[in-house]
Amino acid sequence: MMDKTEMAKKERRIYLSEVRRMAGKRFAATAVVLAALAFLVVSCRSRPEPPAQSPADPYAAARARMVEEIKGYSSPPIRDEKVLKAMGKVDRHLFVEESMRARAYENVPLPIGQGQTISQPYIVGLMTQAAALKGGEKVFEVGTGSGYQAAVLGEIAGQVYTIEILEPLARKAESLLKNLGYENVHVRVGDGFLGWPEQSPFDAILITCSVPKFPVPLVEQLKEGGRIIAPVGENMQALKVGTKKDGKIETKDLGPVLFVPMTGPGVEGEKK
């Protein structure tokens, strides 16, 4: 039999062996944890960066300056916040030729092809304001051009019907307006002098080409109390607003302007 000293030594050896074994387990567990943490750090570092946000609208500042400029006119002023908001939203640079985009937000008319022009922003705002739209109305426009005026109207009115006699311009404007999401703007190729009878009566009618006088078919398609806005005259033109009362038109002069003349069989017959 072992004496007490030998038994104590044996128990000590067993104890030390167990301590080493437990330490080995703790070390292994710690190593596993450290390895896992290292994997997470590497994974986080190697994770792809999120896609960069789209760059800011490069034309936003120019568009804001344009709105401030037209607000500065006093004869007559443009104060309708709905009109100013619409013009601050519509991308005019998309409605001019690419070679003219650098000048898109200048307060000047610009060529759009086919011998036609896009009106200066102030005139677009003035004509839109003259229509006295509250929101939700049905509006008819003669002379779609590039579609800019129709887009501004589409930001306020419920439905916009616009007609252009030059088919290449009409198709281009129709495609652009559709791509921009203006589902409430409808484009047709035709003689604007005759209007769009099946969609009448209209709350407002805007004519973006000069006429000798308000065309009779358009006056007939104007709702009672509605407004018709047009540059009237040949050599000397004035922007006029007509309000329909008891079937007759009461007019107001907004000042001198210069627009390309209306073309087509309807107006030509009127001149004879």
C-alpha to C-alpha distance for 156 and 154, rounded to whole angstroms? 5
43 — pLDDT class (breaks 50, 70, 90): very low
Return the minimum-mean-pLDDT range out of 139-148, 170-179, 259-268: 259-268
268 — pLDDT class (breaks 50, 70, 90): confident
* Predicted confidence (pLDDT) at residue 32 exceeds the cutoff of 70: no
Beta strand pairing call for 138-142 and 159-164: parallel
Burial of 106 (0-12, 13-18, 19+ CB in 10 A): middle
Q: What is the pTM of this model?
A: 0.79
* Predicted confidence (pLDDT) at residue 195 exceeds the cutoff of 60: yes
**pLDDT tens-digit series, residues 245-255:** 999 999 999 99
Task: Provide the percentage of residues in the chain whose pLDDT is more than 90.
Answer: 74
In this prediction, residue 74 carries a pLDDT of: 84
In this prediction, residue 207 carries a pLDDT of: 98
In this prediction, residue 265 carries a pLDDT of: 92
Phi-psi region of 224 (alpha: psi -120 to 50; beta: other; left: phi over 0): beta
Structure-block tokens of residue 27: 């070390």
In this prediction, residue 129 carries a pLDDT of: 98
* Predicted confidence (pLDDT) at residue 123 exceeds the cutoff of 60: yes
* Predicted confidence (pLDDT) at residue 200 exceeds the cutoff of 90: yes
**pLDDT tens-digit series, residues 217-239:** 999 999 999 999 999 998 889 99
Mean pLDDT score of the chain, rounded to an integer? Answer: 85
DSSP helix/strand/coil, 191: coil
In this prediction, residue 17 carries a pLDDT of: 52
56 — pLDDT class (breaks 50, 70, 90): confident
Active site (annotated) includes residue 119: yes
**pLDDT tens-digit series, residues 154-175:** 999 999 999 999 999 999 999 9
* Predicted confidence (pLDDT) at residue 134 exceeds the cutoff of 80: yes
Return the minimum-mean-pLDDT range out of 16-25, 54-63, 79-88, 227-236: 16-25
Q: Which of 43, 75, 119, 146 is catalytic?
A: 119
Counting other chains too, the contacts that 197-202 makes at CB distance below 8 Å and 24 or more residues apart are 197/221, 199/138, 199/140, 199/161, 200/140, 201/138, 201/226, 202/138, 202/139, 202/140, 202/161, 202/226
**pLDDT tens-digit series, residues 73-118:** 988 999 999 999 999 999 999 999 999 999 999 999 999 999 899 9
Structure-block tokens of residue 179: 């791509």
In this prediction, residue 13 carries a pLDDT of: 54
